[in-house]
Amino acid sequence: MQKSVAQRDDFLDYLRGGAIIWVILVHTFYHKSFFPYTVQKSYLLFEMPVFFFVSGAALYYSHRRNPSVSRFVSRRLVRLLIPYVLLALVCLPLYYVWSRLSGQPMSKSDVISWLTLYPQNTVPQYVGWYMWFVRAMFAVSLAHLVLVRTFFDQRGRWPLVAGLTALVIVIPFAHGADHLGFLQEVAFYSLNLILGYAYAAGMLPRRARDYLAIALVAALALFALVHLGWYTGDLQGDKFPPNLAYGVFGIAALSIFLAFRPWIETWLGRSKIATKVIDYYNVHSYSVYLWQGFGFWAIDGLVALTGLTGWLFRVPYVIPMALYFLGALTLTAPIAYLADKVTDMVQSSAQTYIDNVVGHAGRIWTWSAREALND
């Protein structure tokens, strides 16, 4: 069921492209609360386990081709940072102008939040909803350098998985859990990354019925956790930070996708339009994620200019949701394309310099570590 390292796994591309489209749909459900049923819509939140699962498989393939740490840092991590910096260069001036006009001057903490990959107060305001992903992805990508080696060491595999799982389970009940949320987040999504490794290495089941059985067991486990009163059943709360309930939900969702992989590939193989659309959003997935706030902002502006704001709250929620979903999805696509073009130009022109800096830093760190060990 898995592909060899030399082959490209189209199914992973389908998952990532479909997941970013699903992200826009999920944020449409939460935008202005057009769909008010909080608990019900929280069961749509399976996109992050999918994203980190795909990232884990992709990182495993990349690691097998080139295990160089310096190359990983100079290519992968820089590729995460450049689009984020471009977004900050647009959002910070907008936020500064808005803060001056509104009489609420931008504080130092607002700027620092961008530097720490976790902006809070932003313009457009929707950017603050989902920017947590950048910090989590960056941290988990750094963790990958240790995770991938430990997981494929027979002695370290199960202690690693057990340790990360224990963190996810125990932290919510620990004293000072509010201050350990980011650690819980990194541990949780590291487990999703490891699932991606296992998939790429051919270590997961191959039969659809096995995945369906796993999905059923995970669904029953989620029901039991909620029924026992250990978790609320509102997966929006269980996702921030992600806990055991969200974990078994993610396993159920991933298992269903893997079970229906042959049908997904067959259906997309027959539809050139669907394949092209998903491929576009797969290629530009990260930038679409970063810039989606501008898509929602633009739709808000159009609705306000046309005087449709009140009307949208009087009609069935399907109408405003379709408007915002299709509008945000469509308007974000060209912005993401342009952002990726700029990213490509910046990275291509600076890559040699970046490689030299990272390589030099790596040599210094290695030399310092060697001296410390000798002492």
> pLDDT by residue (tens digit) across 95-132?
999 988 988 888 889 899 999 999 988 888 888 889 99
**Whole-prediction pTM value?**
0.92
SS3 for 174?
coil
pLDDT exceeds 80 at position 54? yes
Which residue would you say has higher pLDDT here, 185 or 269?
185
Backbone torsion region of residue 307, taken as left when φ is above 0, otherwise alpha when ψ lies between -120 and 50, otherwise beta:
left
The pLDDT of 72-92, averaged and rounded, is: 91
Can you give the pLDDT at residue 361?
A: 66
Which residue would you say has higher pLDDT here, 29 or 292?
292
Where exactly are the structural domains of the chain? 10-365
177 burial via Cβ count (<10 Å: 0-12, 13-18, 19+): middle
Distance CA(175)–CA(179), nearest Å, equals 9
Can you give the pLDDT at residue 7?
A: 58
The pLDDT of 294-309, averaged and rounded, is: 92
What are the tens digits of pLDDT across the range 149-177?
Answer: 999 988 999 999 999 999 999 999 988 77
Can you give the pLDDT at residue 13?
A: 95
pLDDT exceeds 70 at position 375? no
Q: At what angle do helices 318-374 and 10-30 cross, to 10 degrees?
A: 120
Distance CA(267)–CA(222), nearest Å, equals 30
